[in-house]
């Protein structure tokens, strides 16, 4: 079946807002004599409210921490880093291909709408998507399929005709549950990680020319 729409995740896929969070939290853990395990941190990727870093830090060190102060410092340093980030490699090329071929385009993110629209506007790509669905629009975020199904409905497409681009395991699980093809593009911290079911795995959206990426996905779908 031909792909007629592309649904982009946002955090980590369009803009790497995830690696900076790992960097800052790792520093904070180290300052308290603890080690943040990437696999624990990754539980919170692509979803919301599943990983509580300061509760985990307290358990590791056996004493309470000033969560409010740590959160304030984390947020300030995190935003400074994210503000310097460029769009992820290959994003604009995939968008251009989709536009040239008349493919529908959406974002489906477990973040809130203000976060997603703020960054897409800042980077000048907001108007290139016909729909944006965030946790403000659904009862359940990823790994539930609701966000991807809502995005497909907004595009007027059946799930089987949509291709999801995702970096997080929770997002890949959501795409699978929604019955959609999925290109997995994990961030560097998860480059060697075992991932949930996906159609194609890339180190970057720029690893293949956009037309070759789409052709390979459709080839794999056709071959079953």
Q: Is the pLDDT of residue 123 over 90?
A: yes
Question: Are 108 and 57 in the same domain?
Answer: no
Whole-angstrom distance, CA of residue 97 vs CA of residue 5: 11
Residues 6+ apart with CB under 8 A from 40: 51, 56
Chosen domain end from 37, 63, 83: 83
pLDDT category at 49 given cuts 50, 70, 90 is confident
Residue of 11, 16, 21, 137 marked active site: 11
Active site residue 167: no
Contact 124, 26 (CB under 8 A): no
Over pLDDT 90: what percentage of the chain? 94
How many folded domains does the chain comprise?
2
Active site residue 21: no
CATH number of the domain where residue 210 is located: 3.40.50.1000
Chosen domain end from 83, 100, 115: 83
Q: Is the pLDDT of residue 9 over 80?
A: yes
Spatial strand order of the sheet with 162-166 comes to: 131-133, 104-108, 5-8, 162-166, 181-184, 200-201
Q: The dihedral of CA 26, 29, 34, 36: what is its sign?
A: negative
Q: How many Cβ atoms are within 10 Å of 201's Cβ, its own excluded?
A: 13
- The predicted model gives 19-36 an average pLDDT of 97
Q: What is the pLDDT of residues 130-142, one digit of tens each?
A: 999 999 999 999 9
- The predicted model gives 194-205 an average pLDDT of 96
Which structural domain, as residue segments, surrounds residue 175?
Answer: 5-16+87-223
Of 96, 98, 135, 100, residue with least CA distance to 9: 135
Of 200, 147, 132, 154, residue with least CA distance to 178: 147
33: left (phi over 0), alpha (psi -120 to 50) or beta: left
Q: What is the pLDDT of residues 77-100, one digit of tens each?
A: 999 999 999 999 999 999 999 999
Question: Are 153 and 91 in the same domain?
Answer: yes
Residue of 9, 21, 137, 146 marked active site: 9
53-61 vs 19-31: helix crossing angle, rounded to 10: 30
Whole-angstrom distance, CA of residue 147 vs CA of residue 138: 7
- For residue 156 the two structure tokens come to 């007027």
Q: Is the pLDDT of residue 1 over 90?
A: no
Q: How many Cβ atoms are within 10 Å of 31's Cβ, its own excluded?
A: 10
Chosen domain end from 28, 50, 83: 83
pTM recorded for the entire structure: 0.95
Number of H helices, E strands in the chain: 9, 6
Q: What is the pLDDT of residues 168-186, one digit of tens each?
A: 999 999 999 999 999 999 9
**Reduced to 3 states, what is the DSSP secondary structure of residue 156?**
coil
Query: What was the pLDDT predicted at 224?
Result: 75
Question: Are 146 and 163 in the same domain?
Answer: yes
Q: What is the pLDDT of residues 14-25, one digit of tens each?
A: 999 999 999 999
Question: Are 72 and 96 in the same domain?
Answer: no
pLDDT category at 50 given cuts 50, 70, 90 is confident
């Amino acid at each position: 079946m031909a792909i007629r729409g592309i649904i982009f995740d946002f955090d980590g896929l369009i803009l790497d807002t995830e690696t900076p969070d790992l960097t800052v939290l790792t520093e904070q853990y180290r300052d308290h004599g603890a080690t943040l395990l990437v696999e624990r941190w990754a539980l919170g990727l692509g979803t919301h409210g599943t990983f509580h870093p300061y509760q985990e830090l307290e358990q590791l060190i056996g004493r309470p921490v000033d969560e409010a102060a740590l959160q304030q410092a984390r947020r300030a340093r995190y935003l400074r880093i994210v503000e310097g980030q460029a769009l992820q490699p290959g994003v604009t090329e995939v968008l251009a291909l989709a536009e040239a071929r008349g493919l529908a385009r959406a974002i489906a993110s477990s973040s809130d709408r203000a976060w997603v629209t703020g960054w897409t506007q800042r980077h000048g790509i907001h108007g290139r998507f016909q729909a944006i669905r965030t946790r403000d629009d659904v009862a359940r975020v990823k790994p539930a399929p609701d966000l991807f199904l809502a995005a497909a409905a907004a595009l007027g497409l059946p799930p089987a005709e949509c291709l999801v681009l995702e970096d997080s395991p929770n997002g890949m699980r959501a795409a699978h549950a929604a019955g959609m093809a999925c290109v997995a593009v994990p961030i560097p911290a998860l480059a060697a990680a075992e991932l949930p079911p996906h159609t194609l795995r890339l180190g970057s959206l720029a690893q293949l020319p956009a037309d070759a990426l789409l052709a390979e996905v459709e080839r794999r779908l056709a071959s079953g």
